[in-house]
Amino acid sequence: MTKIRTIAIDDEPLALKLVSDYIRKTPFLELAGQFDNPLDAVEFLEKEMIDLIMLDIQMPDLTGLEFTKILQDAPKIIFTTAYEKYALEGFKVNAVDYLLKPFSYPEFLVAVQKAKKLIEMEQEHSALPSLEANSQFLFLKSEYKIRRINFNDILYIEGLKDYVKVYLQSESKPILSLNSVKSLEQKLPSEQFMRVHRSFIVNLNRIEVIERSRIVFGKTYIPVSDQYKEKFQEFLNKNFL
């Protein structure tokens, strides 16, 4: 597998340097960023795809637990803290592991190997062949109903924290479903749909206007983030007159 893209967040400079150094020396990890302010990391995560976050819990502006609650389609998380009392709370938000400061490199390695195993299992599962009864539609749970959604009717999909909004050509209001952008991305035909941002998937057949690296649907402007610009530009080049 490719390296696991990892960021470190800690308001203590020495602790941040230590965990960043641990990430750098681990062959299967890639240090994609380090932040002493979780608010800066939120902005970074809106543009970049990250697999794993090493996250301090006790921070002044935004605690690690509060940080996880505002993430959309959250990566794997390993909490680091000097306070053992936060362990249970950490596992309540599905943390992979919990490291009590000060922790050694062997302890760090055990934790990130757990994350590696989970990420590899998810990648293997997504790569398994699935039944493709058709390339026309899918069924989606919404408001205690199961709705048939025709692919050609979809304009774009927006990811929220625990839900997605599916915007249709035929309806004025989006369909709200308890789902993730990542799970829908795996089910939609890749020749017709493309993820262009951490929070957005667009129907390529429905794109009519592009303005300053933003896809325009009526009054909605969908940004194409740096992570997806190359792939989206390739699509444009293939269809450019």
Residue 113: pLDDT over 60: yes
Within the chain, all domains assigned CATH 3.40.50.2300 are found at: 4-127
128-136, long-range: CB within 8 Å, 24+ apart, which pairs?
Answer: 135/189
Q: Which residues lie closer than 8 Å to 159 by C-beta, 6 or more apart?
A: 72, 73, 180, 181, 198, 199, 200
Cβ(4)–Cβ(52) below 8 Å: yes
Render pLDDT for 189-238 as a digit per residue (tens, 0 to 9). 889 999 999 899 999 999 999 998 899 999 999 999 988 999 999 999 88
Specify the domain boundaries for CATH 2.40.50.1020 within the chain.
Answer: 137-238
What pLDDT is stored for residue 89 in this prediction? Answer: 57
Q: Give the residue carrying structure tokens 């690690």.
A: 64
**CATH 3.40.50.2300 matches 4-127:** yes
At the topology level, CATH places domain 137-238 in OB fold (Dihydrolipoamide Acetyltransferase, E2P) (2.40.50)
pLDDT at 143: 80
Give SS3 for 180: coil
